[in-house]
Amino acid sequence: MAPRQRAAAFARHYLLAVQFFTRLPVTGPLAEWVGYSPERLRASAAHFPGVGWLVGLAACAAFALFAFALPATPFTHFVAAVAATACTVLLTGAFHEDGLADLADGLGGSLDRERALEIMKDSRIGTFGAIALVLALLTKVGLLAVLAAASPASVFPALLAAHVVSRFWPLLIVRTLPYVADLAGSKSKPLADRISSQALAVAAAWCVVPLAIAALAQGLPFVASALAASGVAFALMRQWLARRLAGFTGDALGATQQACELAFYLGAALALAGPR
């Protein structure tokens, strides 16, 4: 494939990922140029972390706007964290949060695998889903406020890197576990196929620059702690899914992204704590 063709394919796959994973308008002539096919949607999975660039930068902008526009009070960073979180929810249409809630309802509502999968198909949110969603959002806002209070400059590289890296881990779930939902009725059926090594390499490449920025801004221990915590969250989620579902669903991928994003902030905050 010629360099121009490779660049066009890269752009199409990336824009298809943006169209699938966000509410950003990829419509009209642009959508026609991007096109759609199961093969292209499958290839777009490699750019899942690239979508995190857009979401992370938007979150940084929202946090900065509120943090610098509001008067300095003990609640300023908290409000800025709420604004950043709200921005990401609006930008993605709560895509991943919805997955977290559905997975919590399914696995919390029944110990039986088939019954859990059935519950997860229900669009209504239940007790376990509501609790998981509230706790996740509160934890996210709280950790961002802690990061900003400890080091105002740390929250921006943490936000960007967390949104990018947390979108890499679900691809390893796809790589290592079977898809267990109803393929015939799934809109994301192509994404359920095992991801290739080349696609994983592309996804990992999206993560390099945000991690490098975080390392330059806050130091290697900051990145190492955040990355390790996010990796542990991935390992625990994978083990949980393998034990309870013997595989994954689309909801499980969204829940994994949320868990790994939260863990990244936690690891970053712990790195700033230092010795006591």
pLDDT value of position 193: 67
CA distances from 90 to 18, 257, 264, 276 (A): 14, 16, 21, 39
pLDDT value of position 186: 55
Separation CA 30–CA 12 (nearest Å): 9
User: Is the CB of residue 14 less than 8 Å from the CB of residue 41?
Assistant: no
179 DSSP 8-state letter: B
Cβ count within 10 A of residue 27: 10
As given in the structure block, the two tokens for residue 194 are 């095992």
pTM over 0.85: yes
Separation CA 191–CA 181 (nearest Å): 12
Q: Output the tens digit of pLDDT for each of the chain's 276 residues.
A: 677 778 888 888 899 999 889 998 888 888 888 887 778 888 889 999 999 999 999 999 999 999 999 998 989 999 999 999 999 999 999 999 999 999 999 999 888 999 999 999 888 889 999 999 999 999 999 999 999 999 999 999 999 999 999 999 999 999 999 999 765 555 555 666 678 889 999 999 999 999 999 999 999 999 999 999 999 999 999 999 999 999 999 999 999 999 999 999 999 999 998 655
Q: How far is CA 129 from the centre of its chain?
A: 18
